[in-house]
Chain A
Amino acid sequence: MPAVTSRAQRAAHPIAIVAIAAATLIFLAPILWIASTAFKPRAIATSVPPTVVFTPEVTPFVKLFTKRVQLKEPPTPEAYEAAPWWEKTILDGGERVLRVGDDVQLSQYPNRFLNSLIVAVISTVLAVGMGTFTAYGFSRFKMAGEADLLFFILSTRMLPPIVVAIPMFLMYRTFGLTDTHVGLIILYTAFNLSFSVWLMKGFIDEIPKEYEEAALVDGYSRLEAFFKIVLPEAATGIAATAVFCFITAWNEYAFALILTNRRAQTAPPFIPSQIGSGLPEWTVIAAGTLLFLLPVAIFTFALRNHLLRGVTFGAIRK
C-alpha cells in the first residue's frame, strides 16, 4: 500500500507528531475516561479532582454480569474462603451474588449485548447483501426511470426517523413485531438499505464492466461473473458499507427504546436504564459502555486494510 506508507512518511515531521499526538489525546479523552472509570473502585469513581492513579479492579465487570443482593451481615470466614476470586470483590462490598442452586444468576446485560450483536450483524449482512445486488443492477443495466428510482430509494432517508416512530410502533404492535429480533432486524435493514445501495453503486460503477464482459465471453454466466469478478473487486466497498451499516444498527437508540423492552431489547436503551433510582453505579455503567464500544472498534479494526486501501484496481492502465 504505497499511498498509506507515503502518508505515514510525510507525518514523520516532529511537529506533526506532537500535533497529532495532542489531537489524538483530546479526541480519545472521553474514551480513556470511560475506560478508567470501568476499573475504578466505586468510592473514587466520582471524586473531584478525578483520581488518575489507582489500583484497577474488575469489580465493576463482575457487577455488570451478575445479579446481587445486599448482605445483612458480613460473610463467615468459611464462606469467604469458599467463594471464587471474583466473588470476593463483591463480598468485600457488602453484597453477595444471587444463585439458584449452584448457578450464578446473570444480569440482563449479557442478554442485551447478545441482542445487539444478533440484530446488528444480521441487519448488516442483509442490508449490504441486498444493497450490493441492487446496486449492481442499477450500475449495469439500463432501465426506465432509473434516476427516479434511485432518488426514491434515497428519499427514504430524508424523513427524520423519529417522525415515523409512533406509526411504526402501532404497525409493529398490529403485526406482533414489537420486542422481537425480527422486528428490529427488518427496521434496521430497511433503514440501512438506501445508504447501502447508494454507496455500493458508487463502488460498482468504478469497476470496469469490461471485466465481467470478458468473463461472459469466456464462458461464464452473469451470476458466475458477478461472484467471481465483481464481488472480489467490490470487497473494499462492501467492507466500508458494512462498517457504516453496522455502526448505525449497533448504535440505534430511539427505535430500540420504543419497540423493545425485554426479550429483544438491545444494549443502547438498556445501559442508561441501569442508572435507576438509587445512587447510580457509575463504574458499572462505565464497564457496560466500554464493552459496548468494543465490537465496533474490533470490526472496524479488522476491516481497516480494506477501508484504507481505497478503490485501486490492479490491471487498469489509463
Chain B
Amino acid sequence: MAHIELRNITKTFGANTALRGLDLEVADGQFFVLLGETGAGKTTTLRIVAGLERPTGGSVLIDGVDVGDWSAAERDVALVLQQYSLYPRYTVRENLEFPLKSKIRRVEPDEIRARVERAAKTLRIEHLLDRKTDLLSGGEMQRVSIGRAIVRKPRVFLMDEPLSALDAKLREALRTELKNLQMNLGATFLFVTHDQVEAMSMGDRIGVLDRGRLVQVGTPAEIYTSPKNTFVARSVGSPPINLIDGAIRDGRAVAEAGFALPVPARGEAGTDRPLIFGVRPEDLLIERDAPAEARVHDVENYGVEKVVTLRVGDMLLRATTSARQQLDIDAPVRFSWRPDKVLLFDRADGTSLRQ
C-alpha cells in the first residue's frame, strides 16, 4: 500500500483548464474521497494518478517517488470505473485473471487460481466465475470490477464513481461492502464521486473540488460542520443547507426575507456587512414560541423524519423535524435556529467568517 501526493498539478485541454495548482495528499491506508460536480476535474485527477493522462504542470509522487515518467502499467495502481469496466468476450474468471497474466507481473498459474478464488469469495461472486460478462447485472459487474482490482494487490485503488450506475438499494449495499473491504485490506483508496452521501459515509477524508481547484480537505465532520465557503457548505448535506441573505443589526440576525433571529455565536464579527447565514435543516427548529413566522410550503415524510419546506416571503427554508409532528400545508408555524450552529459567510465572496 502506498502514500500518494500531488504537487501543484495543472492540466489544460486546449483552451480549457481542468485542474489549477492542485495539491493533494492521501495517506497510506486512507479512504480519500474527491467530491465535486461533473467537470470539476475529479476524473482528470484520477487519470493523472493512474498515468493515463500527463499533467501540464506539477508532479505526482507515489511513496515519495516522482512517477511522472512511469507508464500506467508501471505505477501498479488499480482502476475501477463506472461502466465499460469489464472486458467483453471474457468470462468473469478471465476478467479476474487478466491483470495477473500481464508480463510485468509473472504470477504462477497456481497462484493466479488461488488469488482469483480468494477475490471471488471475498466479493461473493464465486457462482459467476464461468459466466460471460454480458450476462451479469450491474451490481455483479461492479463486484467483478472491484475483484479485478483486488486480485492484483495494487499499491493504490482508484475508483471513478464505481457505484453511480447502480440503483439506489444496490448502491447502499455496495457502499458498506466497499468500505469494509478497504478497512480489511488496509488499502489506500482514492475514490471519486459527485454523490455527497458516498463521500460522507465512506471517506476518511474528503477533498472538495470546484472547477479544477481543491477548495477544502478535511474529515467528513469538518467538511460538514465547518465548510470553508458556501460552495463546500452546499456540496454536502441532504437536504441541503439553508443559505439566508442577511446582516447583523441591533444585536439581532436580520434576514432580508423579513425575519429576525438570535445572533449566532461569534456573530459580532460580522456586524455591519452583508452576510449569508448558513443553517443546516436539522438546526432549524419549528417551535410554538419561536421568534420568526413562516408558512408550511411542503412536507416530505421519510419515515424516520419529515423534511418541511417553510416559506417566508418568497424565500424557502428546509427544516427536518420528527415524523410524528403534524403539519398542514399553508398553516402558519413559528421557527427559530440553534444560534451556536449557524455559519456565517461573507456575501461578497462566500468565504466563511470562522476562518
Contacts and interface: CB of A to CB of B under 8 A. Distances in A.
Interface of A: 208, 210-211, 213-221, 224, 229, 232-233, 313-318
B50 A218 contact: no
A193 B249 CA distance: 77
A218 B98 CA distance: 8
Interface string B96-119: 001100111100000000000000
Contacts of A216: 51-52, 71-73
11 contacts: A208-B84, A211-B84, A211-B87, A214-B79, A215-B98, A217-B72, A217-B73, A219-B76, A219-B99, A219-B102, A315-B141
Contacts of B89: 232-233, 314
A215 B89 CA distance: 14
B232 interface: no
A210 B132 CA distance: 19
A142 B132 CA distance: 33
Contacts of A313: 88
Given A210-B84, A232-B89, 5 more contacts: A217-B75, A217-B78, A219-B76, A313-B88, A316-B83
B138 A317 contact: yes
Interface string B121-157: 0000000000011101010010000001000100000
Contacts of B136: 315
B132 A314 contact: yes
A317 B165 contact: yes
Contacts of A218: 73, 78, 98-99, 102, 148, 152
A66 to B, nearest CB: 49
Contacts of B103: 219-220, 224
A214 B147 CA distance: 13
Contact of B133 (A214, A229, A314): A314
Nearest to A218: B99
Which of A218, A220, A224, A316 has its CB near the most chain B CB atoms (within 10 A)? A218
A253 B148 CA distance: 54
Contacts of A224: 102-103
- A-B pairs with the 9 shortest C-beta distances? A219-B102, A314-B88, A314-B134, A218-B99, A210-B84, A208-B84, A216-B72, A315-B133, A217-B79
Chain B interface size range: 35 or more
A190 B105 CA distance: 41
Contacts of B104: 219
Interface of B is mostly: loop
A213 B72 contact: yes
B351 interface: no
B223 interface: no
Given A213-B52, A217-B78, A219-B104, A317 B88 contact: no
Contact of B52 (A217, A220, A232, A233): A217
Contacts of B72: 213, 216-217
Residue among A208, A216, A219, A224 having the largest count of chain B Cβ atoms under 10 Å: A219
A317 B103 CA distance: 30
Contacts of B85: 210, 214, 315
Contacts of B275: none
Contact of A317 (B77, B99, B141): B141
Contacts of B50: 213, 217
A229 to B, nearest CB: 6
A206 to B, nearest CB: 12
Interface in B48-106: 50-52, 71-73, 75-79, 81, 83-89, 98-99, 102-105
A304 B282 CA distance: 64
Contacts of A220: 73, 102-103
A62 B71 CA distance: 64
B86 A315 contact: yes
B88 A233 contact: yes
Contacts of B98: 215, 218
Nearest to A318: B83
A318 B138 CA distance: 11
A317 B83 contact: yes
